[in-house]
A = this chain, B = another copy of it.
């Protein structure tokens, strides 16, 4: 079960973000150009923050892709979300991160201090409103994710493909930034089941698999019909 290790280079971002080669710039976390932050780069599979670390920053993907995940004590991993450019992550109700965050591909990420966000939200009701909206959308996403996990393997994979198709701009097909293991851990399945299910969908002519990381949706309504 622990064959899934990866040589993650642990970066103590939260504590060194502004002293360890980060480039402090004035930028924006929530659309209006108000919140000062710093951008950092992360290489593929490097940790952005760990589970249980103090949640001192809020993060926004500038480029690349990020996953959040949590590992149970026996090695099972659940992916909370995938984050694409423009997405905000790392918001917490409490004072520490309940999931860890890792760069799925090389990524640049904007960091804004949580205290800055809080102060600005107090001062400016537009920022407060935006902060709430981001959190509420995250909640809606988690609730959708919940619904996924009671469905059959085909339904889960179909829903995943439709979700990704909606989120990535590319029209022709989906360039997947994540591995089969990531997909499996997002959907609560094994890599074998994900792989087999994709093969089944291909033989049903619902999708095409030119390369393993590139998927063309041939028949969206068939996929949507799988979505109970």
Contacts and interface: CB of A to CB of B under 8 A. Distances in A.
Interface of A: 70, 72-74, 76, 78, 80, 91-94, 98-99, 118, 121-123, 125, 128-129, 131-133, 135-140, 142-143, 145-147, 149-151, 188, 228
A204 to B, nearest CB: 19
Contacts of A138: 139
Contact of A146 (B91, B125, B129, B142): B142
B150 A76 contact: yes
A146 B74 contact: no
A126 to B, nearest CB: 9
Copies of this chain in the oligomer: 2
Contacts of A147: 70, 72, 78
Given A93-B133, A125-B128, A133-B93, A143 B188 contact: no
Contacts of A139: 91, 93, 135, 138-139, 142
Contacts of A131: 132
